[in-house]
Structure 1
Amino acid sequence: MNTKCQFLFARLILLFLSGCTVFPGSHISTTDKHFVEQEQQEGEAQFSEEVNIYALTPQQVAKYQTAKTSAQPNPELEASIAKYEYHVGPGDILNVTIWDHPELTIPAGSYRSSSESGNWVHADGTIFYPYIGTVEVEGKTVREIRAEIAKKLRKFIESPQVDVNVAAFRSKKAYITGEVENPGQQAITNIPLTLLDAINRSGGLGEDADWRNVTLTRNGKEETLSLYALMQRGDLTQNRLLQSGDIIHVPRNDTQKVFVMGEVKDPKLLKMDRSGMSLTEALSSVGGINELAADATGVFVIRSSNKKQESMADIYQLDIKDASALIIGTEFDLKPYDIVYVTAAPITRWNRLIQQLMPSITGFNELTEAALRVKTWP
């Protein structure tokens, strides 16, 4: 009988040692691998010491709110538009008219447009005009060009009446890229072109546009502007007068996402829409907290800190034991890559422990009963 018991336990040990063929699923073991230990440097803080926790209360939530934009004028832009003048450049086509001297004015005719019959500005910034020859026009306004031609024509014509206008604007362009309906270049003309005008001319924003983080690149310097503040809130300080070579980029909203995990009905990744997302909106989008398993005092928003030298992360805690506290969540705006985590209640964690132990306890009881049956086997 002892021999039979020893044989049975030996078989059980062999089965246990051959776990790679008995236990289902994959597993990573670090026992047979080279583990690189990293020593904590002197003065280096533990991760827990670099995390700040803030309570979301009616008195404190206002401190963490995103600054609200409001309608306001842009006097600097208005002044720039008021004194705006177009400066001619290479590639433009000018129409020069000398009144009472048709021999000096090339007629457009019924088969030639103004751009076809005009004076092309060459690459060196000059045009050729009869009698006076080469005229420097690059970087000048039409008024300056008119005065220059009139001055030179006085040698040949008494009191010349000169008129100059731009028949085709081809030298200066701004570029619209990203999530707009018709990205591409837009000509800078004698009519001032603003950021808002350029977006409208390009067909408006695309469905996946991130209109809060539009960038304007000028002379290698990048500026972030909010079309949300401009178009929804009337904040005209977000508008700009465009110059030649400006690049407007409207990014995709792929980075506008938050993660909702823990004891909620449907943990998932949420994509923020153009109007943003509050904490309460995020919870409602996943069906709310799991009322049977969640700890209502432990609704956390985990956010990477902007000041890495001071802390790694900031955690904001909302207590919603009283459901009316969710109104506080409506005042707390989430940011991209925020993590909303709802903790489990202590009883839930205890029940999970018991649930994990039950198969082992049951198996141990079965082994014990089997050993007893072998021992009493006649």
Structure 2
Amino acid sequence: MKTVWRLTGCVYVLLGSACSVLPGLHVGKPGSESVSLERRTQPDGSTQYVGQSGGELIGYRVVEVTGQSLAQIRAGTEITLPPLPGMFSAVTAGQGALEYRIGPGDIVLITVWEHPELSAPLGDRTDVQNAGRLVSADGLMFYPYVGEFKAAGMTALELRQFIAQKLSRVINNPQVDARVVGFRSQRVQVSGDVRDPGVVALDDKPKGVMEAIAERGGLTEQASRRRVYLTRGGISYPLDLAGMLSGERTVMNPQLVAGDVVHVPDRSNDLVFVLGEVDKQVQVALQQGKTTLTEALTAAGGLDRLRANDSGVLVFRRPFAEGLLPTIYSLSLDSPLGLLLAGEFVLQPRDVVYVKTTDFAQYNSLINQLLPTISAVFQLDRLVTRR
């Protein structure tokens, strides 16, 4: 009995010391003193734990997810992209043809009715690329009885009128038609996670970001469904690709101009991480629609039946603007209301979902860690007692 009492006391002391070591409101950097955080209750019901370290504001805020606070959470965490400058215009479904201006490298097919010697001097008009006339790198073009002239910058209508006016000196009332059959001068680059990255030629049909991506084969499996970047004049502008794809909100599909670069990133910045007491710890890629907490937990196989604390589900969210604090959202799934709220709580990129452990599971983990030590002490004590 003496041995049993001694062991019981050992377990009691160890368990008591472990339970007394609780996470305190202290933070610190390696090699520096810890900083105490002050608790502040905010008017919106959230709680802030803040302090100063080297003149820098540190800490975090805790928000309990309730039916009343959910609307405020949505409004405060919805990511809105800055509006595009006025130089951008949108591609619309009913938009007509553009007034295309000829440029270097374009191929123009010119027809003079009843004068095949001018329309097809080589006698073959089935191959319009070869039958057409190339605009040189310096924007010049040659045509019989007209000579060499500056074609770059003209529209097809202006080119037709110009050639007709020049030919009127040798042909009575010439009937001239002109059209671009090879669009080569105005191009944009499409890069990133598209199936066939490369160049897209702009023509007389309006082309936006969505049309350019589609022309290069569409998105890959690893492509982001939330963001795309348009670079113009050396400045990169983020665009709401999720809105364009889903149609859930009105989003501009910017019309492209020569020299633009469309870049589709991968989905590495669209991940949500599910950790803690779930069936499997996973990373979930956010798609073009809204991904809720319930969907993320389902992707992780649900809560661990034995170890998960369904009243302790946390979502850690980084600040989206300078000067803001990270936020920890606390949600309880042990009630019907909590389950409904989880189905409405929309996750944001780089969120971390953490399911806490039950007190009983923590107790079992501690016992499992202590058992080898207890067993060794028990065996040693038996040997000493026998002596």
Task: Flag whether TM exceeds 0.5 (same fold).
Answer: yes
Counterpart contact for 1:302–1:338, Cα < 8 Å: yes
1:314 is displaced (CA, Å) by 0.9
1:321 is displaced (CA, Å) by 1.9
1:294 is displaced (CA, Å) by 2.8
Change beyond 3 A, Cα 1:285–1:45: farther
1:129 is displaced (CA, Å) by 1.8
The C-alpha deviation readout for 1:144-166, integer Å capped at 9, x for no partner, is 22232233334444443332111
Letter in 2 for 1:369: R
- Which residue of structure 2 aligns with residue 337 of structure 1? 350
Counterpart contact for 1:99–1:162, Cα < 8 Å: yes
Q: 1:122 aligns with which of 123, 128, 136?
A: 136
Q: Give the RMSD, CA atoms, in angstroms.
A: 3.3
Counterpart Cα distance in 2 of 1:307 and 1:143: 51
- Which residue of structure 2 aligns with residue 369 of structure 1? 382
Counterpart Cα distance in 1 of 2:220 and 2:275: 30
- Which residue of structure 2 aligns with residue 310 of structure 1? 324
Counterpart contact for 2:243–2:288, Cα < 8 Å: no
**Aligned: 1:146 with 2:155:** no
The C-alpha deviation readout for 1:57-91, integer Å capped at 9, x for no partner, is 1121123337599xxxx995349944721111111
**1 or 2, which has the higher strand percentage?**
2
Change beyond 3 A, Cα 1:354–1:79: closer
SS of 1:151's equivalent in the other structure is: helix
SS of 2:345's equivalent in the other structure is: coil
Change beyond 3 A, Cα 1:47–1:370: farther
SS of 1:58's equivalent in the other structure is: coil
After TM superposition, list the pairs within 5 Å mapping 1:1-378 onto structure 2: 37-38=31-32, 43-44=52-53, 50-65=59-74, 76-78=90-92, 81-82=95-96, 84-107=98-121, 109-110=123-124, 113-233=127-247, 235=249, 237-311=251-325, 313-374=326-387
Letter in 1 for 2:344: E
TM-score calculated relative to the size of structure 1: 0.77
1:363 is displaced (CA, Å) by 2.3
1:44 is displaced (CA, Å) by 1.8
Counterpart contact for 1:50–1:310, Cα < 8 Å: no
Counterpart Cα distance in 2 of 1:347 and 1:203: 54
Counterpart Cα distance in 1 of 2:163 and 2:73: 63
1:248 is displaced (CA, Å) by 2.0
Counterpart Cα distance in 2 of 1:54 and 1:128: 73
The C-alpha deviation readout for 1:221-277, integer Å capped at 9, x for no partner, is 222223432232165633122222222222222333222222223233333444452
- Which residue of structure 2 aligns with residue 14 of structure 1? none
Instruction: Using the aligned pairs only, state the percent identity.
Output: 35
Counterpart Cα distance in 1 of 2:118 and 2:56: 81
Gapped regions of structure 2 (runs ≥ 5):
1-28, 36-50, 81-87
The C-alpha deviation readout for 1:67-117, integer Å capped at 9, x for no partner, is 599xxxx99534994472111111111122233444433346347622212
The C-alpha deviation readout for 1:116-173, integer Å capped at 9, x for no partner, is 1222101110101222322111122111222322333344444433321112112122
1:308 is displaced (CA, Å) by 4.1
Letter in 2 for 1:51: Y
SS of 1:237's equivalent in the other structure is: coil
1:323 is displaced (CA, Å) by 4.3
1:51 is displaced (CA, Å) by 0.6
Letter in 2 for 1:114: V
Counterpart contact for 1:176–1:198, Cα < 8 Å: yes
Counterpart contact for 1:81–1:241, Cα < 8 Å: no
Runs of 4+ in 1 over 6 A off after TM superposition: 45-48
SS of 1:61's equivalent in the other structure is: helix
Q: Which has the larger radius of gyration?
A: 1
Counterpart Cα distance in 2 of 1:267 and 1:44: 34
Counterpart Cα distance in 1 of 2:269 and 2:324: 25
Counterpart Cα distance in 2 of 1:46 and 1:354: 43
The C-alpha deviation readout for 1:169-217, integer Å capped at 9, x for no partner, is 1212222223333332222112222333223333333222212112222
TM-score calculated relative to the size of structure 2: 0.75
